[in-house]
Amino acid sequence: MLWWTSALVRGILAAPVASPECLTPENGPMFVTADCVDPEYRTVIIDSETHQTSPVTHRKVSGHFDNSSIIINIYLPPKHKWKGRFFHYVYPTQTEDAVEEDIGFAIDSGAYWVQITGTGGYRADAAAAKFARKFAAQYYRSPSRHIYGYLFGGSGGSYQTIGGIENSRGVWDGAVAFIQGVPESNPSDFCPRALGGLVLREKSAQVVDAVRPGGSGDPYVGLSTLEQSVLREVSLVGVPLHSWEDFDRVGGTRSLRLLNSSYRSIDPTYKDDFWTLPGYVGTEESELGDIFRAALVNYTTTIEKVVPSQADSPATVVLEDLPPISDPLGMDFTIYDALGTELGIVWGTLDVETRTVSLYNASNSTAVSSLAEGLTVMVDKHFLALHTYHRHQLPSVSGFYSFDQFRDDAGNPLYPQRSVVLSEFLSRAASGGGTHTGKITSNVIVVDNMMDSDAYPWHASWYRSQVQNALGTSFDDKYRLWYSDNANHDYDEGVPDYQASQLVPFRGIIQYALRELTDWVESAILPAENTNYTLRSAQVSVAESADERHGIQPVATLKVNGAAKTVARVSETITLNAHVEIPAGTSKIVAIEYDFIGTGDLVSYPLASPVTSIDIEMKTHYNATGTYFPAVRVTSQREGKMSSPFARAMNLGRARVVINEQGCE
Dihedral over alpha carbons 8, 10, 11, 12 (to 10 degrees):
90
Q: What is the mean pLDDT of the chain?
A: 93
Is residue 578 pLDDT above 80, yes or no? yes
Maximum average pLDDT range among 290-299, 304-313, 328-337, 620-629 = 620-629
Is residue 137 pLDDT above 50, yes or no? yes
Nearest alpha carbon to residue 126 among 84, 169, 95, 157: 169
pLDDT of residue 363: 67
Is residue 57 pLDDT above 50, yes or no? yes
Is residue 250 pLDDT above 70, yes or no? yes
Higher pLDDT, 2 or 412: 412
Which residues have CB under 8 Å from 158's CB, separation 6+?
A: 177, 178, 179, 180, 181, 455
Q: What is the mean pLDDT of residues 82-103?
A: 98
Q: Please confirm whether the linkage preceding 328 is cis (ω < 30° from 0).
A: no
Higher pLDDT, 55 or 361: 55
Report the C-alpha gap between 570 and 642 in whole angstroms.
38
Cβ–Cβ < 8 Å for 538, 458: yes
pLDDT of residue 2: 37
Collapsed DSSP state (helix, strand, coil) of residue 257? helix
> Counting beta carbons within 10 angstroms of the beta carbon of residue 213, is it exposed (0 to 12), middle (13 to 18) or buried (19 or more)?
buried
β-sheet bridge partners, residue 87: 113, 150
Collapsed DSSP state (helix, strand, coil) of residue 429? helix
> Counting beta carbons within 10 angstroms of the beta carbon of residue 477, is it exposed (0 to 12), middle (13 to 18) or buried (19 or more)?
exposed
| φ, ψ at 88 (rounded to 5°) | -130, 110
In order, the DSSP letters of 561-626 are TTBSEEEE-TT--EEEEEEEE--TTS-EEEEEEEESSSSS--EEEP--S-BSEEEEEEEE--SS-E
pLDDT of residue 17: 55
Which residues have CB under 8 Å from 302's CB, separation 6+?
A: 319, 320, 374, 375, 376, 377
Report the C-alpha gap between 385 and 264 in whole angstroms.
11
Residue 99 is given by DSSP the state P
Is residue 9 pLDDT above 50, yes or no? no
pLDDT of residue 402: 94
Quick: pLDDT tens for 482-528. Answer: 999 999 999 998 899 999 999 999 999 999 999 999 999 999 999 99
Residue 220 is given by DSSP the state T
Report the C-alpha gap between 526 and 425 in whole angstroms.
36
Report the C-alpha gap between 195 and 172 in whole angstroms.
41
Report the C-alpha gap between 373 and 376 in whole angstroms.
9
Single-letter amino acid, residue 322:
L
Single-letter amino acid, residue 586:
T
Length of the chain: 665
CA–CA distance from 15 to each of 24, 72, 116, 250, 268 (Å)? 20, 18, 21, 50, 45
Cβ–Cβ < 8 Å for 88, 81: no
pLDDT of residue 6: 40
Is residue 372 pLDDT above 70, yes or no? yes
Which residues have CB under 8 Å from 453's CB, separation 6+?
A: 189, 193, 239, 240, 243, 249, 250, 488, 489
Domains of the chain in sequence order: 3-146 (no CATH), 178-296+381-546 (no CATH), 297-380 (2.40.30), 554-665 (2.60.40.650)
Residue 5: pLDDT band with limits 50, 70, 90: very low
Quick: pLDDT tens for 335-371. Answer: 998 888 998 888 888 999 999 999 887 666 778 888 8
pLDDT of residue 362: 61
Cβ–Cβ < 8 Å for 207, 183: no
Collapsed DSSP state (helix, strand, coil) of residue 210? helix
In order, the DSSP letters of 123-171 are HHHHHHHHHHHHHHHHHTT-TTSPPEEEEEEEEHHHHHHHHHHHSEESS
Q: What is the mean pLDDT of residues 298-319?
A: 86
Q: What is the mean pLDDT of residues 161-184?
A: 98
For the entire predicted model, the pTM comes to 0.92
Q: What is the mean pLDDT of residues 55-81?
A: 97
| φ, ψ at 122 (rounded to 5°) | -125, -5
Is residue 326 pLDDT above 90, yes or no? no
Collapsed DSSP state (helix, strand, coil) of residue 523? helix
Give residue 487's region: left, alpha or beta (phi > 0; psi -120 to 50).
beta
Report the C-alpha gap between 368 and 30 in whole angstroms.
39
Cβ–Cβ < 8 Å for 124, 41: yes
Is residue 152 pLDDT above 70, yes or no? yes
Q: Helices 225-237 and 287-295, interaxial angle, to 10°? A: 80
Question: How many Cβ atoms from other residues are within 10 Å of residue 431's Cβ?
Answer: 27
| φ, ψ at 455 (rounded to 5°) | -130, 100
Nearest alpha carbon to residue 499 among 214, 179, 245, 240: 245
C-alpha 177 chain-centroid distance: 11
Report the C-alpha gap between 482 and 520 in whole angstroms.
15
In Å, the largest CA–CA distance within the chain is: 85
Residue 14: pLDDT band with limits 50, 70, 90: very low
Report the C-alpha gap between 497 and 501 in whole angstroms.
8
